[in-house]
């Protein structure tokens, strides 16, 4: 059992290294994953920020959690695209002819997504500091924030794996991101939900992205997270378990 795990871990690292090289060689990936959220942050802060009332909270401090979540959602789309290309171009079948753990192929894509999206999130936060973001939180909040964001990245990555496996084209595999973007925009990511029409506000206050964004914001502003942290974690864990089970069943059916 121990040797089997070591072999799986070794194979996963090799698969991840392969995918990572492709990611960093793609200018399109860098532009979409990092540049697009940065441009969105610049637009909201310097164009719309002055017209949005966030009380005593500086708008850059208010909007940063939404930009981080948007950055992750943009990044996981490429996991679906790269996995889909491996499946549709027969690369997965070639790997199966080699003495490697079959599950390491999915593991490599997931590990790459964790590393790549964590890296892009750090870049976004550093750029936010340049734009005026300030916080006095301690190490414990940074650790909790990191754990929550890694859990969110992992959850969204396994969702992307499903679409990467079932889609017939690379373009189609990334289309699910538009649905996630709707959830981000209809949330307190860029404006308080109190300003929204009643029906929209009810949806915004009771959908998965809202407690995640609110928890990230509370941690960054050194405020009480309340029940949002538990709700955010439960949403992530439930979606993660379902996505993991479904994606692995689809993968086994496709490769059996």
Predicted pLDDT at 32: 67
For 154-204, what is each residue's pLDDT tens digit? 999 999 999 998 888 877 888 888 889 999 999 998 888 888 899 999 999
Q: What is the rounded distance in angstroms from the CA atom of residue 108 to the CA atom of residue 22?
A: 12
pLDDT for the residue numbered 1: 56
Domain count, the chain: 1
Q: How many Cα atoms within 13 Å fall on the side-chain side of residue 242?
A: 8
Q: Looking at 103-107, 236-240, 243-247, which range is the least confident one?
A: 103-107
Residue span of the structural domain in which 35 resides: 2-255
Pair of tokens at residue 58: 């500086």
For residue 209, what are the CA distances in angstroms to 16, 110, 134, 197, 238? Answer: 28, 21, 23, 18, 14
Kindly give, in sequence order, each residue whose CB lies less than 8 Å from that of residue 42, ignoring residues fewer than 6 positions away.
131
Q: What is the Cα Rg of the chain in Å?
A: 19
The Cα 52–Cα 151 span in angstroms is 30
């Amino acid at each position: 059992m121990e040797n089997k795990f070591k072999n799986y871990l070794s194979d996963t690292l090799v698969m991840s290294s392969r995918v990572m090289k492709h990611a960093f060689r793609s200018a399109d990936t860098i532009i979409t994953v990092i540049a697009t959220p940065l441009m969105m942050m610049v637009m909201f802060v310097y164009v719309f920020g002055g017209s949005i009332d966030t009380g005593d909270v500086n708008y850059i401090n208010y909007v940063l959690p939404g930009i981080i979540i948007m950055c992750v959602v943009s990044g996981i789309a490429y996991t679906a695209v790269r996995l889909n290309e491996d499946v549709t171009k027969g690369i997965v079948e070639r790997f199966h002819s080699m003495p490697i753990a079959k599950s390491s192929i999915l593991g490599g894509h997931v590990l790459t997504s964790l590393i790549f999206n964590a890296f892009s999130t750090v870049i976004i936060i550093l750029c936010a500091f340049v734009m005026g973001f300030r916080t006095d939180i301690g190490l414990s909040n940074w650790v909790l924030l990191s754990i929550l964001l890694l859990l969110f990245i992992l959850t969204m990555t396994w969702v992307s794996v499903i679409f990467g496996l079932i889609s017939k084209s690379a373009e189609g595999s990334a289309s699910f991101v538009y649905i996630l973007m709707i959830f981000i925009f209809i949330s307190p990511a860029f404006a308080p939900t109190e300003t929204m029409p009643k029906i929209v506000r009810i949806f915004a206050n009771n959908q998965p992205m809202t407690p995640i964004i609110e928890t990230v914001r509370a941690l960054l502003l050194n405020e009480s997270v309340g029940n949002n942290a538990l709700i955010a974690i439960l949403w992530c864990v439930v979606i993660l378990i379902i996505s993991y089970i479904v994606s692995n069943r689809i993968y086994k059916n496709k490769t059996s």
